[in-house]
Amino acid sequence: MRDGPVGELQWLSATEAAQAIADKELSPVELMKALLERIAKLDPRLNAFITLDAEAAMAAAKAAESEAVAGRLRGPLHGVPVGIKDIINVAGLPTTCHSKILEGNVAKADAVCVQKLRGAGAIVMGKLSTHEFAIGGPSFDLPWPPARNPWNTDHHPGGSSSGSGSGVAAGLFPMALGTDTGGSVRNPASCCGIVGLKPTYGLVSRRGVYPLSFTLDHIGPMTRIVADNALMLQAIGGHDALDPGSAASVNGHYAANLDRGVRDLRIGFVRHFHEIDTPAEAEVTAALNHAARALQMEGAEVRDIRLPSLTEFGAVNRVILQSEAWAIHGPWLRERPGDYGQLSRRRLMAGAFMSAGDYVQAQRRRLEMIAEVEAAFRQVDVLLCASSMDPPCRIDRPADIDRTYPRQARTPFNVTGHPALAMLAGLSVDGLPLSLQFVGRYFEESTLFQVARAWEHAAGTDKKHPPIV
């Protein structure tokens, strides 16, 4: 097997790595070694990991190498390293949820999504930083420090899947799992300039993942390129009879349309999100307009589309999320309030002040909003809209975090359950990622990947890496 120089291996995509391993041109051991060396060098500045399981990862890489040499491949991700957000169970490792509350909580079994990744041949490297219980962060009053942005370590990497975004962007691993209840896959993808997908609600099993909000929680892939995202979704998607929220019939060949281009596709541009509801920074608006024009040049029909306001989507999301999260965290908040960080404590206790009537009204309005978005999808195939309204702010300025955190257009699609993918739209004058979002019809992730791939190809987003060394 060929031993690649470290400088090349860190930016290998999952697709390239899997192909090279299958072709016996790349050793999984050399790949793992290169990434572990990079983690040793960079993670003290990035804090992407809570638990690095280097020994087990190297043992799995050796096993993968033996199997590859013998021509026995476990699946399409054979020998490819992956990082797992630390609210997702990995057998034998602690699931801390980045919280003192769950320190030492060792998982007995893999979550279904982790089982499926292992079944496809992926190798788990360890558990990744998150906002506490996927809601409270970035926080400096927790047992572990918050992850940082590899484009500039003074800046926020987004959350709550912070370590997943930071580590993928920095070349610590080519792919990671995140979770998304109000945008927590797509926010770090936006801040770190990678590809993050919140699949259709129910497409990926939630079993073995610590819940935040039962009717809003999604598990999604985070990668540097669109093709890897489709590959990872192919591995983790599918019906799970033991997850009550699992979609009954799930099928799809997610990479089927990757290189078809966007000719004849109808794209609805949701301008009012970033022009009226929550006016975006000028650089973000310019990047979105540029993307719309570029897709038009590629042959898509782009037209304006109107949805309910971001303010209302945000309010519906918060009432549902905080009511359901209170049902989960109430007992600990009553007995151990001091064991939460301040941000989580404030956000999770809000549910105690919401009534049953508030929750039901929010769920009733949710169904009406779903109908309004479904009506839009009768006119267009895919939506284009903002993800974050600002470039990532400094991590050490709470006022900037408070100001920018709600300035986003991600929560609408947790409310409706439509698949939504965030990715790089360009770089700010300060060299920080700007983002955009594509949204698809239920279970039409393949069309979403088709449009995202066309944008990636037109803009060269897959060639842009943070300058961290």
**Binding positions for another protein, rule: CB under 8 A:** 215, 244, 311-312, 314-316, 318-319, 322, 330, 333-335, 337-338, 342, 345-354, 358, 360-368, 370
Least Å from the CB of residue 348 to another protein: 8
The 8-class DSSP code of residue 360 comes to H
- Contacts for 299 with CB less than 8 Å, ≥ 6 apart: 261, 262, 263, 264
Identify the active-site residue in 160, 213, 323, 446.
160
Shortest spacing between CB 222 and another protein, in angstroms: 27
Q: Closer to another protein at the Cβ: 153 or 416?
A: 416
Can 184 be counted among the known catalytic residues?
A: yes
CB of 77 to another protein, least distance (A): 33
Which residue, 297 or 352, has its beta carbon nearer to another protein?
Answer: 352
Q: Which residue out of 85, 116, 127, 198 is catalytically annotated?
A: 85
E-strand ranges in 266-381 read 266-269, 301-304
Nearest residue (CB) to another protein, 261 versus 314: 314
Rounded-to-integer distance, Cα 28 and Cα 459, Å: 31
User: Cα separation of 440 and 421, whole Å?
Assistant: 9
**Given 99, 139, 184, 205, which residue is catalytic?**
184
Distances 78 to 4, 292, 457 between C-alpha atoms, Å: 17, 37, 26
Residue 298 C-beta: closest distance to another protein, Å: 36
**In terms of CB distance, is 342 or 379 closer to another protein?**
342
109-112, long-range: CB within 8 Å, 24+ apart, which pairs?
109/208, 110/208, 111/205, 111/207, 111/208, 111/209, 112/205, 112/207, 112/208, 112/240, 112/243
Which C-beta is closer to another protein: that of 3 or that of 141? 141
Provide the pairing of β-strand 123-128 with 49-52: antiparallel
Element holding 272 (H helix, E strand): helix 271-272
Q: What share of the chain is helix, strand, coil (3-state, %, to 5)?
A: 45, 15, 40
- Residue 323: active-site member: no
State the minimum distance, in angstroms, from the CB of residue 185 to another protein: 21
Q: Return the active site residues.
A: 85, 160, 184
